[in-house]
């Protein structure tokens, strides 16, 4: 056999690179590779030469200079004396806030709409179709601007809440005020404040917050143990012990105890001077951006959910009904687990879209990463290239992290092949 091949192999000629099937694909790959590298080299070379021509350098020293501007919404303490780096981090956190809020709300709304579109109620299903078609077929930027403009023009200014002859009143037992600048929410106050944990760089966590997180996570773990025990008892004896009151207790009781211990109460906002103070003012730019991102992305998620459910063959639900499962149990035990396999991968893309779309925040003056690093910092320092490159890398890393996290989740729900 080796003899045959040795005699059949003609000596290598240059023309074989194109004419011989064995080498052709390799040749084209090499050519494409060279072209891509040449293009990349041209871009970099061009950038360097043009930068030199404009007398500009490429360095990130500006990040450590004093920023000098204020940001309306600061998740971590920030003043104008801080560096551009800290301003950028504040912007990144603002991006994350709207992205996380948006992903959660869009998922909830999207699942509801997607399931409702399959409802047997004709009117309800058609209404959901209208919702989906309206929101996914108009540009997101328009939705952001429309919602923001509606808030600005329709809601009253804080001044309207003032004095005896106020033309507007606060809602929810005088705890919430909707104004054309922000929604004034009550904050949480404590009569027994345990102080804060200092993480350095002026980032602090209140011990009470940590205590609540520990209580909730601990409660959740104990609840899992209870369910495992119930399963165990069921396996051995055939009857499942009633556990709902135990689950409820471990989830809620520790929190209630902590609320009593710390003396947790609501502090309503009050109108002082020009604005509401003492509470938490959630700016309309955040609310408008959040709502627009939610509605827009929910329309896409609804379609993904609908497609996922339709992908589960009808025989599955018929079999479940035949076994005597009620419709909601059929949905949660039979259809959804199978539908999730189809739903999760495109859902990842929607989360990534939403996160990147949040950079439209600049349209309503919400200071996200694009508004701080790519906006004011870029402008005040004139470091366009550095700021844009840094911003691109940040969004890239952010997207990769979301993607990685969701892929782990996907690996857990996807069809197990044994």
Binding-site ranges for other proteins (CB under 8 A): 14, 17-18, 27, 30-31, 34-35, 38-39, 41-42, 45-46, 49-50, 53-56, 68-72, 79-80, 152-153, 157, 159, 180-181, 272-275, 277, 281, 284, 362-363, 365, 367, 371, 375-376, 378-382, 384
Cβ distance to other proteins smaller for residue 152 or 399:
152
Least distance (Å) from other proteins to the CB of residue 271?
11
Please name the helix (run of DSSP H) or strand (run of DSSP E) that holds residue 265, with its range, or none.
Answer: strand 264-267
- CA–CA distances in Å: residue 67 to residues 72, 88, 124: 14, 10, 52
Cβ distance to other proteins smaller for residue 94 or 297:
94
Count H helices, E strands: the chain?
A: 15, 9
Least distance (Å) from other proteins to the CB of residue 156?
8
Q: Which residues contact 60 (CB under 8 A, 6 or more apart)?
A: 386, 390
DSSP state at residue 66: B
Least distance (Å) from other proteins to the CB of residue 55?
5
Least distance (Å) from other proteins to the CB of residue 306?
38
- 403-412 core/surface letters (b: 16 or more CB in 10 A; e: else): eeebeeebee
56: number of Cβ within 10 Å: 14
Residue with tokens 């403009």: 149
Cβ distance to other proteins smaller for residue 50 or 121:
50
- The DSSP result for 98-132, as a single string, is HHHHHHHHHHHHHHHHHHHTT-S-HHHHHHHHHHH
Rounded to the nearest 5°, which phi and psi values hold at 213? -60, -45
Pairing of strands 270-272, 275-277: antiparallel
Least distance (Å) from other proteins to the CB of residue 123?
37
Cβ distance to other proteins smaller for residue 152 or 316:
152
- The DSSP result for 284-326, as a single string, is HHHHHHHHHHHHHHHHHHHHHHHHHHHHS-HHHHHHHHHTT--
Least distance (Å) from other proteins to the CB of residue 359?
14
Cβ distance to other proteins smaller for residue 347 or 363:
363
Cβ distance to other proteins smaller for residue 157 or 346:
157
Least distance (Å) from other proteins to the CB of residue 302?
32
With CA atoms as reference, report the closest residue to 266 among 345, 184, 327: 184
- Asked if residue 415 lies in contact with residue 311, where contact means CB atoms within 8 angstroms, the answer is no
Least distance (Å) from other proteins to the CB of residue 182?
8
First-last CA distance in the chain: 40
Please name the helix (run of DSSP H) or strand (run of DSSP E) that holds residue 137, with its range, or none.
Answer: none
With CA atoms as reference, report the closest residue to 106 among 349, 310, 311: 349
Cβ distance to other proteins smaller for residue 157 or 194:
157
Least distance (Å) from other proteins to the CB of residue 385?
10
Cβ distance to other proteins smaller for residue 287 or 320:
287
Pairing of strands 280-283, 182-185: antiparallel
Cβ distance to other proteins smaller for residue 43 or 197:
43
Cβ distance to other proteins smaller for residue 93 or 216:
93
User: Using N-to-C axis directions, what is the helix angle for 336-357 and 84-116, rounded to 10°?
Assistant: 140
Least distance (Å) from other proteins to the CB of residue 244?
47
Least distance (Å) from other proteins to the CB of residue 107?
30
Residue with tokens 């497609």: 307
Cβ distance to other proteins smaller for residue 38 or 252:
38
- The DSSP result for 179-206, as a single string, is -SSEEEEPEEEESS---EEE-STT-EEE
Per this entry, what is the length of the chain?
418
């Amino acid at each position: 056999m080796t003899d045959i091949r040795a005699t059949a192999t003609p000596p290598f000629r240059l023309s074989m690179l194109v004419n011989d099937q064995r080498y052709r694909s390799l040749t084209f790959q090499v050519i494409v590779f060279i072209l891509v590298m040449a293009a990349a080299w041209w871009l970099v070379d061009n950038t360097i030469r043009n930068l030199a021509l404009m007398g500009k350098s490429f360095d990130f020293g500006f990040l450590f200079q004093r920023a000098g501007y204020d940001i309306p919404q600061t998740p971590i303490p920030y003043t104008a004396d801080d560096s551009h780096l800290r301003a950028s981090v504040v912007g990144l956190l603002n991006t994350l806030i709207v992205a996380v809020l948006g992903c959660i709300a869009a998922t909830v709304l999207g699942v509801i709409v997607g399931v409702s579109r399959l409802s047997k109620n004709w009117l309800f299903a058609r209404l959901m179709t209208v919702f989906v078609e309206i929101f996914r077929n108009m540009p997101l930027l328009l939705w952001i601007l429309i919602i923001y403009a509606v808030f600005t023009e329709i809601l009253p200014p804080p001044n309207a809440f003032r004095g005896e002859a106020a033309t507007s009143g606060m809602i929810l037992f005088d705890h919430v005020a909707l104004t054309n600048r922000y929604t004034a929410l009550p904050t949480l106050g404590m009569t027994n404040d345990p102080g804060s944990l200092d993480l350095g760089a002026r980032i602090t966590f209140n011990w009470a917050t940590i205590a609540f997180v520990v209580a909730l996570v601990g409660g959740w773990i104990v609840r899992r143990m209870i369910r495992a025990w119930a399963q165990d008892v069921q396996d051995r004896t055939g009857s499942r012990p009633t556990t709902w009151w135990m689950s409820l207790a471990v989830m809620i009781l520790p929190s209630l105890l902590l609320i009593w211990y710390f003396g947790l109460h609501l502090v309503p906002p009050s109108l002082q001077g020009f604005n509401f103070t003492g509470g938490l003012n959630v700016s309309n730019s955040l609310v408008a951006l959040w709502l627009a991102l939610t509605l827009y992305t929910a329309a896409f998620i609804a379609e993904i959910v609908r497609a996922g459910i339709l992908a589960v063959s009808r025989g599955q639900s018929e079999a479940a009904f035949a076994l005597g499962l009620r419709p909601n149990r059929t949905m949660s035990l039979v259809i959804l687990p199978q539908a999730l396999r189809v739903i999760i991968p495109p859902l990842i893309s929607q989360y990534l879209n939403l996160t990147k779309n949040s950079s439209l925040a600049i349209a309503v003056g919400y200071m996200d990463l694009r508004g701080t690093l790519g906006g004011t910092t870029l402008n005040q320092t004139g470091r366009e290239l550095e700021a844009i490159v840094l911003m691109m890398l940040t969004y890239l890393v952010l997207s990769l992290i979301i993607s990685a996290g969701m892929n782990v989740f996907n690996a857990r729900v996807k069809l197990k092949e044994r």
